[in-house]
Amino acid sequence: MKRTSIMNTNLQIPINQILPNPDQPRTVFDQAELEGLAQSIKENGLIQPIVVEEAGDGFILVDGERRWRACQIAELETIEAIVRPASNHNGTHRLMQALVANVQRSSMGPIDEAKAYEKLMQHLGTADAVAKKVGVSNGVISTKLTLLEFPEQVQKLFNMGRLPLIAPMIIALKHLSTEQQIRVATRAAIRGWSGKTIMKLITMEAKKSGKSKAYVPIKRMKKEIKFNGHFNALALINGKELPDHIRTAAVQTCQACALYPEASPAICKECPLPDFLRRLDVKC
């Protein structure tokens, strides 16, 4: 039986009747944060209800995906929600609502935000129109859109919050070659450098011809060696034999790295661990 439409009413609704927003711009959800939020919800309850929109016999999530995911982790059967009637708007309306909610909380990755702005521009026509709708400056939108011009490896580091969002640095990085961008970005992310330090490295890279013998393009690197499905420091020590306890410690160190989920030759070769392992004088 079809449910009677309810106007902006707070209700306890079954979690399994809620569908994620197909136009949700945010793609990065920190699992540790979600588990912490789930524990908090178990102990204190949900402080702020989510917002959903009626959709047939179910609901589409408009705002509150982190809370919704955390409640699932907490194995709750229902969740408090502000229920809005089914909308005649297209996906752009939901995208706008989700984008505004995330931007106001500063909780969305900059690449996710940039892709959302780009999608909205397709519907609204100009960056100025998007700026007025979302409530941010043209400068912010312009800077975020510039991030989409970088290679995917660099975009991921920006989206993970591993690189600072400083406009002059972003513009300077943009003028380097793709290989240089990846090299600078991965080194800066691993070492946690500030924008000022990154600018110095960019200046050094800009002076190079781009054919430094010290640099080996990613496409020329040997086949990746995998461990538990992830690239790690042991892949870069040229088969050197090490005692099992040192190999285990090396892998555990890699797994503890914030960049481990995105590990690759480009990232791991900038880490000091492989060089340390090469220099170890041990007997197996």
Tell me what the mean pLDDT of segment 34-59 comes to.
Answer: 84
Over residues 98-123, the pLDDT tens digits come to 666 655 555 678 888 888 888 888 87
Q: What confidence score (pLDDT) does residue 88 get?
A: 59
Q: Which residues, 6+ apart, have CB-to-CB distance to 176 below 8 Å?
A: 184, 202, 205, 206
| Alpha carbon 59 to its chain's center | 26
**What is the reported pLDDT for 130?**
81
3-state secondary structure of 214: coil
Each residue's pLDDT tens digit, 123-152: 778 888 888 877 778 888 888 889 999 999
Name 159's Cβ contacts closer than 8 Å, sequence gap at least 6: 27, 28, 109, 110, 111, 112
CB 175 within 8 A of CB 206: yes
DSSP-derived 3-state class of residue 197? helix
Query: Residue 116: in which H helix or E strand, if any?
Result: helix 110-124
Tell me the domain boundaries of the chain. Answer: 9-89, 163-215, 222-279
pLDDT at 227: 41
Fold of 9-89: 3.90.1530
pLDDT the model gives residue 23: 66
According to DSSP, residue 235 is labeled: G
pTM of the full structure? 0.50
Tell me the average pLDDT across 175-195: 90
CA distance linking residue 6 with residue 20, whole number of Å = 20
For the chain, how far is it from start to end, CA to CA, in angstroms? 71
| CA pseudo-torsion sign 198, 204, 205, 211 | negative
The sheet with strand 9-14 has its strands ordered as: 9-14, 78-84, 50-55, 58-63, 18-19
> What tens digit of pLDDT does each residue of 246-273 get?
777 777 777 777 666 666 666 676 677 7
**Residue 40: pLDDT band with limits 50, 70, 90:** confident
Q: 12 φ, ψ to 5°?
A: -90, 115
Residue appearing with tokens 């519907």: 123
Residue 95: pLDDT band (50, 70, 90) is low
What are 207-232's pLDDT values in tens digits?
874 534 333 333 333 333 334 446 67
Across residues 191-201, what is the average pLDDT? 88
Residue 238 phi/psi, 5-degree rounding, is 55, 40
